[in-house]
C-alpha cells in the first residue's frame, strides 16, 4: 500500500510537472504580410520572432499572406492574435507607432534606429498602445527613394507639373503630390512599376529592395536616376490585441525587436550598394533644404489632419536635433 | 630462349621507365596547373566548405606525386591548408556545443564536446603543420635571412607563414597533440619581414604582431604589438582583404578579453558593409569572416543559448545611452 502510495505520488508529481510545463506555453497566431509569401524575408523575420517568442512562453502559429489587405482584414476579424504589417496599416490600430514612417522625418538609418530604440523603452509603453491594440515590434524595411526618368528634375521644385505614380491609399504621397504641384497617376503596388517604366509617369517612389525585382532600372535608364534623399522610412511592425498577451510582453518583445535592426536592414543595405553609382543623384546641401522644407510642410499638414501623431513627430524632431543641434528647425516649435 | 627473356626484360624496363617519366611529367604538370589555375580559383571563391573538402580529398593525391620525383610542395601546401580549415570548422562546432552544454548544466555532454574539440584542434594543427613543412621544404629552412622570392611566389610565402601560425595556435588548443615545434613562431615573425606588408593587405605586419601577442616575452623592446596590429588592420581594410582582422581577433581571443573581442567583431562587421571585398581574394575574406562569426557565436551561445546574427553585427544586452534616451523621451 505504501509502495502504491509512493508510486501514485511520483506519477501525480510527474503529471503535474508536465501539466505545469505545458501551461507555461500558450498558443497564439500571427498573420504575416510578405509580398513573396512564406519564402520572403519578412516571413523569415517572423520565423525568427516565432523562435524568440517560444522563449517567452508563446507558441506562434504563422500564416503567410501575399496581399496586405487580406492579412489586415483577417487580423481585424480576429482570425489571428497578432499581425506583421507595414506601418501604413498599423497606423489605423496604433496611431503613434504608425506615424514613424512620416514623410522625410528620418533621413538616415541611424536616426531611425535611435527612434525605434527610444520607442522600445518600457517608460513609453503608452506610445505603443492605442485602445485594444499594441505595437509589439518595429523593424526597418528600408528608405523610400524618389526615382526619376529625367535626372535634371533633382530639385523638388522641378516636380511641379510632372506626373508621379502614386499609391492611392498613401495619404502622405497624395498630399506631397498636391504640395509640390505635381499631378498624380493613380497606382497600386502591382502597377506602379509598369506605369513608371512605360513613361506614363515622370517619377515614382520605392525602397531600394524593390528596384531590381520590379525592373525599375528600365524607367531610370538612360537619363534618370534615384534621388539620394529618403522620402520616408518603410517599417514593418507587429501589432496585437494586448489582452491576448501577458502584461509586460510588449516591453520584452519591443526590446528584443530593437536588437534585430541590423539583421533586418542587411538586405536593404546590399540592395542599395548594388545600385550603380551613376544612378544615384546626390542632392546638393541647398537643394536638400528645399526637400526638407516641403516634407516638413506635408508632415505638419498631415498632423493637423490627424494622420500623423503629434507626439511621434515631436520625438523624431528631437532625434534629428540630437544629431544636428545647429539645424534651423531646432530653434522653432512647429513639430 | 635467352633472346626471348632478354626481349621481355627490355620491354618491361622500357615500360617502367616510361611510366615513371609519365608520372613525373604528370606531377610537374599538376603542380604548375595548381599554381597557375587551381590556387587562384580557390582564392577567388568564398565557399570555405568546398575548399576545405577539396583540400582534404585532393591533398593526398597531389602529395603522392612526390614519390615520382616531382616537386609538388606548393600545391600540397595549399591543399593541406584547406584540409586544416575543415578540422578547424569542426573544432569550432564542437566548441559551440560544449558552451551550450555548460549553459544547460549537462556535464557529460560538455565533456564529450570538449574532447571532440581538442581532437579536431589536433587534426587542424597537424594539417596546418604539414602545410608549413611544405613551405619550409620549398623555400628552405629559416636561417634569419630572407630567401629569394619571385613575385609569383610571394603569395605562397604568405600562405606558408600563415599556416605555421595557425598550426601553433591549434597545437596549443589541442594540448600539444600535434607536436608542432616551438620554433615556428620565430620563423613566422622573422619570415613576415620578407614581404611588403602594404602589398599583402597588412597580413605580414599582423602575423608578426600576433606572434608577439601570443608568445610571452616575444615582443622586441620599443615595439607595441597592439599598435602594429592596428596598422595591419588599417592596411587590410583599405585593400578589401581583411585577413589581418582574423589574426587580430585570434590574438584577442587568446587573451580572453571579451569586451575587446566584441568591439573588434563589430568593427569587422561594419567595415564589411563599407568597403567591398577584393574579388581575387574572397576566400581569405570568408576565412576572416568565419573567425569573427565564430567568436560572435561563442558569446551569443554563452549568454543566450543560441548563435548570433549571421553578419555578427550585434550582441545581446547591449547597453544603451540611457541619459540621451531619457532626454529624448522627456515629457512626451
CA dihedral sign of residues B27, B31, B36, B40: positive
Average pLDDT over residues A99-112: 94
Query: Per CB distance under 8 Å, which residues of A are interface residues toward B?
Result: 114, 117-118, 121, 123-124, 127, 259-263, 266, 269, 273, 311, 314-315, 318-319, 322
Min Cα separation B270/chain A (Å): 10
pLDDT by residue (tens digit) across B275-330? 888 999 999 999 999 999 999 999 999 999 999 989 898 898 765 667 888 888 88
Best A112, A263, A310 member to test B by mutation, with max B CBs in 10 Å, is A263
Min Cα separation A318/chain B (Å): 6
Domain boundaries, chain B: 32-191, 199-308
Query: What confidence tier does A5 reach under pLDDT thresholds 50, 70, 90?
Result: very low
Residues B46 and B4 sit within 8 Å (Cβ to Cβ): no
B244 CB-near residues (< 8 Å, 6+ apart): B201, B202, B203, B205, B206, B229, B232, B233, B235, B236
Check whether A146 has a pLDDT greater than 80.
yes
Q: Nearest residue on chain B to A311, judged by CA atoms?
A: B332
Cβ B324–A322 below 8 Å, yes or no?
A: yes
- Please tell me whether residue B195 adopts helix, strand or coil conformation: coil
Cα–Cα distances in angstroms (integers) from residue A314 to residues A39, A124, A275, B318, in the given order: 37, 14, 33, 26
Average pLDDT over residues A279-297: 89
Structure confidence at residue A273 (pLDDT): 86
Query: What are the start-end ranges of the E strands in B206-296?
Result: none
Q: Does domain A144-231+283-309 have CATH number 3.40.190.10?
A: yes
Tell me the DSSP string of A176-238: HHHHHT-EEEEE-TTTHHHHHHTTS-SEEEEEHHHHTTTTTHHHHTTT-EEEEEEEEEEEEEE
Structure confidence at residue B12 (pLDDT): 66
Provide the grid cell at A230. 529618403
Query: What confidence tier does B1 reach under pLDDT thresholds 50, 70, 90?
Result: low
Average pLDDT over residues A318-330: 92
Place of cell 576565412: B287
What pTM did the predictor assign? Answer: 0.72
- Please tell me whether residue B178 adopts helix, strand or coil conformation: coil
CA–CA gap between residue A46 and residue A238 (Å, rounded): 9
Q: Phi first, then psi: what are they for A238, rounded to 5°?
A: -105, 120
Query: What are the start-end ranges of the E strands in A261-311?
Result: 280-281
Place of cell 559551440: B96
Query: What confidence tier does B193 reach under pLDDT thresholds 50, 70, 90?
Result: very high
Check whether A289 has a pLDDT greater than 80.
yes
Taking all residues of chain A, what is their mean pLDDT, rounded to a whole number?
A: 88
Structure confidence at residue B237 (pLDDT): 94
Residues A133 and A238 sit within 8 Å (Cβ to Cβ): no
Q: Which DSSP category does B145 fall into?
A: S
Length of chain B as a residue count: 332
Cβ A123–B329 below 8 Å, yes or no?
A: yes
Contact status of B323 with chain A (Cβ, < 8 Å): no
Structure confidence at residue A215 (pLDDT): 86
Residues of chain A with CATH 3.40.190.10: 144-231+283-309
Min Cα separation B82/chain A (Å): 29
Check whether A74 has a pLDDT greater than 90.
yes
CA–CA gap between residue B191 and residue B153 (Å, rounded): 14
Q: Which CATH superfamily hosts domain A27-142+233-273? A: Bacterial extracellular solute-binding protein, family 7 (3.40.190.170)
Q: Phi first, then psi: what are they for A82, rounded to 5°?
A: -140, 165
pLDDT by residue (tens digit) across A17-26? 333 344 478 9
Query: What confidence tier does B205 reach under pLDDT thresholds 50, 70, 90?
Result: very high
Query: What confidence tier does A7 reach under pLDDT thresholds 50, 70, 90?
Result: very low
Provide the grid cell at A104. 522625410
Q: Phi first, then psi: what are they for A215, rounded to 5°?
A: 55, 40
Amino acid at each position: 500500500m505504501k509502495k502504491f502510495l509512493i508510486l501514485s505520488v511520483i506519477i501525480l508529481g510527474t503529471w503535474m510537472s508536465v501539466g505545469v510545463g505545458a501551461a507555461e506555453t500558450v498558443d497564439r497566431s500571427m498573420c504575416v504580410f510578405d509580398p513573396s509569401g512564406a519564402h520572403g524575408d519578412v516571413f523569415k523575420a517572423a520565423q525568427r520572432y516565432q523562435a524568440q517568442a517560444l522563449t517567452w512562453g508563446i507558441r506562434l502559429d504563422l500564416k503567410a499572406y501575399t496581399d496586405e489587405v487580406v492579412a489586415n482584414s483577417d487580423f481585424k476579424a480576429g482570425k489571428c492574435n497578432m499581425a506583421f504589417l507595414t506601418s501604413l496599416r498599423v497606423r489605423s490600430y496604433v496611431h503613434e507607432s504608425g506615424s514613424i514612417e512620416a514623410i522625410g522625418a528620418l533621413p538616415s538609418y541611424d536616426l531611425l534606429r535611435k527612434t525605434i530604440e527610444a520607442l522600445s523603452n518600457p517608460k513609453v509603453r503608452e506610445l505603443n498602445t492605442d485602445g485594444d491594440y499594441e505595437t509589439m515590434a518595429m523593424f526597418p524595411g528600408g528608405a523610400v527613394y524618389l526615382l526619376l526618368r529625367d535626372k535634371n528634375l533633382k530639385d523638388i521644385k522641378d516636380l511641379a507639373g510632372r506626373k508621379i505614380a502614386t499609391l492611392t491609399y498613401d495619404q502622405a504621397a497624395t498630399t506631397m503630390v498636391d504640395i509640390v504641384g505635381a499631378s498624380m497617376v493613380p497606382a497600386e503596388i502591382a502597377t506602379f512599376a509598369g506605369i513608371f517604366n512605360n513613361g506614363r509617369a515622370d517619377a515614382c517612389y520605392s525602397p531600394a529592395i524593390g528596384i531590381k525585382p520590379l525592373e525599375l532600372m528600365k524607367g531610370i535608364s538612360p537619363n534618370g536616376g534615384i534621388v539620394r534623399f529618403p522620402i520616408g522610412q518603410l517599417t514593418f511592425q507587429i501589432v496585437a490585441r494586448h489582452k491576448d498577451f501577458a502584461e509586460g510582453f510588449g516591453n520584452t518583445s519591443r526590446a528584443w525587436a530593437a536588437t534585430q535592426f541590423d539583421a533586418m536592414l542587411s538586405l536593404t543595405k546590399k540592395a542599395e550598394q548594388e545600385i550603380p553609382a551613376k544612378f544615384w543623384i546626390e542632392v546638393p546641401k541647398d537643394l536638400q533644404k528645399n526637400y526638407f522644407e516641403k516634407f516638413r510642410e506635408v508632415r505638419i499638414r498631415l498632423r493637423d489632419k490627424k494622420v500623423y501623431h503629434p507626439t511621434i513627430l515631436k520625438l523624431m524632431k528631437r532625434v534629428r536635433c540630437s544629431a544636428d543641434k545647429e539645424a534651423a528647425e531646432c530653434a522653432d516649435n512647429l513639430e | 630462349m635467352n633472346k626471348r627473356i632478354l626481349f621481355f626484360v627490355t620491354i618491361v624496363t622500357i615500360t617502367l621507365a616510361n611510366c615513371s617519366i609519365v608520372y613525373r611529367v604528370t606531377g610537374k604538370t599538376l603542380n604548375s596547373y595548381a599554381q597557375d589555375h587551381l590556387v587562384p580559383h580557390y582564392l577567388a571563391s568564398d565557399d570555405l566548405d568546398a575548399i576545405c573538402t577539396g583540400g582534404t580529398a585532393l591533398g593526398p593525391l597531389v602529395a603522392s606525386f612526390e614519390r615520382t620525383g616531382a616537386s609538388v610542395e606548393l600545391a600540397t601546401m595549399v591543399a593541406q591548408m584547406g584540409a586544416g580549415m575543415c578540422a578547424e570548422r569542426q573544432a569550432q562546432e564542437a566548441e559551440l556545443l560544449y558552451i551550450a552544454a555548460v549553459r544547460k548544466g549537462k556535464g557529460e555532454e560538455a565533456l564529450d564536446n570538449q574532447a571532440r574539440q581538442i581532437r579536431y584542434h589536433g587534426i587542424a594543427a597537424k594539417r596546418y603543420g604539414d602545410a608549413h613543412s611544405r613551405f619550409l621544404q620549398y623555400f628552405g629552412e629559416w636561417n634569419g635571412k630572407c630567401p629569394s622570392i619571385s613575385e609569383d611566389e610571394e603569395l605562397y610565402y604568405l600562405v606558408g607563414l600563415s599556416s605555421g601560425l595557425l598550426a601553433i595556435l591549434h597545437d596549443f588548443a589541442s594540448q600539444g597533440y600535434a607536436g608542432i615545434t616551438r620554433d615556428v613562431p620565430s620563423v613566422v615573425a622573422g619570415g613576415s619581414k620578407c614581404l611588403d606588408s602594404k602589398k599583402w593587405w597588412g597580413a605580414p605586419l599582423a602575423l608578426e604582431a600576433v606572434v608577439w601577442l601570443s608568445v610571452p616575452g616575444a615582443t622586441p623592446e620599443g615595439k607595441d604589438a597592439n599598435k602594429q596590429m592596428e596598422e595591419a588592420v588599417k592596411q587590410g581594410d583599405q585593400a578589401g582583404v581583411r585577413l589581418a582582422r582574423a589574426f587580430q581577433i585570434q590574438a584577442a581571443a587568446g587573451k580572453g578579453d571579451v569586451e575587446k573581442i566584441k568591439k573588434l567583431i563589430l568593427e569587422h562587421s561594419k567595415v564589411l558593409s563599407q568597403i567591398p571585398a577584393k574579388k581575387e581574394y574572397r576566400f581569405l575574406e570568408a576565412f576572416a569572416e568565419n573567425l569573427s562569426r565564430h567568436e560572435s557565436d561563442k558569446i551569443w551561445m554563452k549568454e543566450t543559448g543560441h548563435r548570433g546574427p549571421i553578419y555578427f553585427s550585434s550582441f545581446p544586452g547591449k547597453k544603451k545611452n540611457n541619459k540621451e534616451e531619457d532626454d529624448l523621451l522627456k515629457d512626451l
